Amino acid sequence: MQRVLSLLVDNNPGILSRIAGLFSRRGYNVDSITAGVTADPRFTRITIVTSGDDLILSQIENQIRKLEDVIEIKVLKPDSSVYRELIMVKIRANGSQRAEAISLADIFRAKVVDVEKECMMFELTGNQSKLEAFLNLLDGYEILELARTGITGLERGIENVTFID
């Protein structure tokens, strides 16, 4: 079972390392982890996608809560949250293949961010199924490089927003 956790933490040096160390020491699985400063530079939002059975997922939450710099942990449920991920993909494409690749990108609202003589690069943001569908349709092209950010997300609405003075 997979779970998406959204952590609000103090923006202190080493917090991401301590969280990663917690996962490493206990042998917990991290499917993806993203981190970035919030609107208030004192705080960082970390999104962790992890997997395991109910007991393991409960242990993960409890261990994270014990860390000094952690202010809040939310489980982001798919039906009440918005998840996004970014991919950049570079494909081999000569002049005759470019038009078809660009048409494919347009369907998914991917941006062409670089074009060279023998290759081109796309940027695409969306949920995991959209990104996977795009990559599957690129099957006829040679993917030269691929970079993914991992999931980041927020809960919908204002009911559970944490305001910190």
The CATH superfamily assigned to 2-75 is ACT domain (3.30.70.260)
Q: What CA–CA distance (Å, rounded) separates 151 from 6?
A: 10
Q: Which one-letter amino acid corresponds to residue 134?
A: F
* pTM for this predicted structure: 0.86
| Percentage of residues of the chain with pLDDT beyond 90 | 87
pLDDT in tens, 99-150: 999 999 999 999 999 999 999 999 999 999 999 999 999 999 999 999 999 9
| Residue 150 and residue 34 in contact, taking contact as beta carbons nearer than 8 Å | yes
> 3-state DSSP helix/strand/coil percent for the chain, to nearest 5?
35, 40, 25
pLDDT at 91 over 80: yes
User: What are the backbone angles phi and psi of residue 12, rounded to the nearest 5°?
Assistant: -110, 150
Domain extents in the chain: 2-75, 82-152
The CATH superfamily assigned to 82-152 is ACT-like. Chain A, domain 2 (3.30.70.1150)
Residue 159's Cα: distance from chain center in Å? 24
Rounded average pLDDT over 44-67: 93
Q: Evaluate whether 2-75 and 82-152 have a shared fold.
A: yes
DSSP-assigned states of every residue in 106-126? HHHTPEEEEE-SSEEEEEEEE
